[in-house]
Amino acid sequence: MTQIRHFLDLSDAGGDPIATMIGDAVTRKSARVSSPKGQPDSDQPLQGRVLAMVFEKNSTRTRVSFDMAMRQLGGSALILDSASSQLGRGESIADTARVLSRMADAIMLRTDDHAKIEEMARHASVPVINGLTDRSHPCQIVADLLTIVEHGKALPGLEVAWFGDGNNVLHSILEAAGLLKFNVRVATPAGYEPEVEFIEMARAGGAQVTLTQDALAAAKDADVIVTDTWISMGQAHAEEKLAAMAPYQVNEALMAQAKPDAIFLHCLPAHIGDEVNETVFEGAQSVVFDEAENRIHGQKSVLLWSFGLLD
């Protein structure tokens, strides 16, 4: 039997296929610049295919971008949320995986617990795609890499600087760094560093990873400045954490340290006045809405890879 192409993390695809994904996304995006958003791409490679999306957490971008990606590839998508499906009444992930595999051609899951998506993949007979877990957010990083590349920056040797919480999004950036050979400076307060496993993964792939508590030093001559919410979904709102994060806000003083052509990324939703101030968020170096749009184009590549149509 051909191996099912689950996309639980970026390493499931690997560096070369991710580079191919980015290239394909650039091509498809440019080919449909003047098309209405719901018009399918001319080749409709996923005609007749259905993606089942399961959400255990809120979403705007992931939900809409997967739906639009499927439409543009000629397929369609449907949405379940845990509260209104039998998952919310205790039906197992294993049974849900087997049922959805009989009814849909691929499954996307957003869940609070990475173990659940691993369980889903173990029992599914169709590709399972990670739409965010507590551990990682690989689809976001495909869009981020696409955004970086389309803003004229080559990935090998790139200096990416992260500020704030060592969270799921940072984990996937670190994983990408090892696969695509860029460097990551991580500026977090003590106790909020990313998991060691992801730092080691990046370094094993040849990326340089620097951990520091000095935000200005991390920003020095960086090509890309990135941050995310200080309190991720499912985490308790803690005043102590917010206070520890305050020196890591992305603001003009921090951006002034980076290269003059540095870009600012944020996966959104943003909390203006916390992890980023309004001047930077709305400023000329901010490409956050290109990044949000690129969720569609990046995910089209992820879907094509999962269906074995991109290598």
- Please name which of 136, 105, 59 lies closest in space to residue 292, comparing C-alpha atoms: 59
Nearer to ligand CP, 101 or 140 (CB): 140
Residue of 229, 249, 286, 294 interacting with ligand NVA (CB under 6 A): 229
The Cα–Cα gap between 128 and 247 comes to: 38
Shortest separation between residue 132's beta carbon and ligand CP, angstroms: 6
Q: At what angle do helices 196-204 and 168-180 cross, to 10 degrees?
A: 10
| Active-site position among 144, 171, 267, 297 | 267
Residue of 96, 111, 147, 167 interacting with ligand NVA (CB under 6 A): 167
Site string for ligand NVA, 124-143 (x = CB under 6 A): --------x-----------
Shortest separation between residue 15's beta carbon and ligand NVA, angstroms: 24
Q: Within 10 A of 141 (CB to CB), how many other CB atoms are there? A: 26
Nearer to ligand NVA, 165 or 223 (CB): 165
Q: Is 158 helix (H, G, I), strand (E, B) or coil?
A: coil
- Please name which of 150, 164, 175 lies closest in space to residue 219, comparing C-alpha atoms: 164
| Active-site position among 9, 105, 144, 228 | 228
Residue of 26, 211, 233, 270 interacting with ligand NVA (CB under 6 A): 233
- 95 part of the active site: no
- 137 part of the active site: yes
Question: Residue 229 binds which entry of ligand CP, ligand NVA, none, with Cβ cut-offs from 5 to 8 Å by kind?
Answer: ligand NVA
Sign for the CA dihedral angle at 288, 292, 297, 299 comes to positive
Question: Residue 227 binds which entry of ligand NVA, ligand CP, none, with Cβ cut-offs from 5 to 8 Å by kind?
Answer: none
Tell me the sheet residues that pair with 132: none
Q: Within 10 A of 171 (CB to CB), how many other CB atoms are there? A: 27
∠ at Cα 232 (124, 50), nearest 5°?
30
Shortest separation between residue 61's beta carbon and ligand NVA, angstroms: 7
Which residues sit at the interface with ligand CP, rule CB under 6 A? 59-62, 132, 140, 267-268
Nearer to ligand NVA, 234 or 308 (CB): 234
- 267 part of the active site: yes
- 6 part of the active site: no
- 47 part of the active site: no
Question: Residue 5 binds which entry of ligand CP, ligand NVA, none, with Cβ cut-offs from 5 to 8 Å by kind?
Answer: none
Three-state secondary structure along 53-82? EEECCCCCHHHHHHHHHHHHCCCEEEEEEC
Query: Does residue 45 have a cis peptide bond before it, meaning omega lies within 30 degrees of 0?
Result: no
The Cα–Cα gap between 209 and 193 comes to: 12
- 49 part of the active site: no
Number of residue whose CB is nearest ligand CP? 62
Residue of 11, 76, 232, 251 interacting with ligand NVA (CB under 6 A): 232
Question: Residue 168 binds which entry of ligand CP, ligand NVA, none, with Cβ cut-offs from 5 to 8 Å by kind?
Answer: ligand NVA
Q: Is 227 helix (H, G, I), strand (E, B) or coil?
A: strand
Does residue 309 interact with ligand NVA by CB under 6 A? Answer: no
**H helix runs in the chain, sequence order:** 15-31, 61-72, 93-103, 114-123, 138-150, 168-180, 196-204, 215-219, 239-245, 252-255, 278-281, 288-306
Catalytic residue annotation: 110, 137, 140, 228, 267, 295
Binding residues for ligand NVA, rule: CB under 6 A, are 132, 167-169, 228-229, 232-233, 267
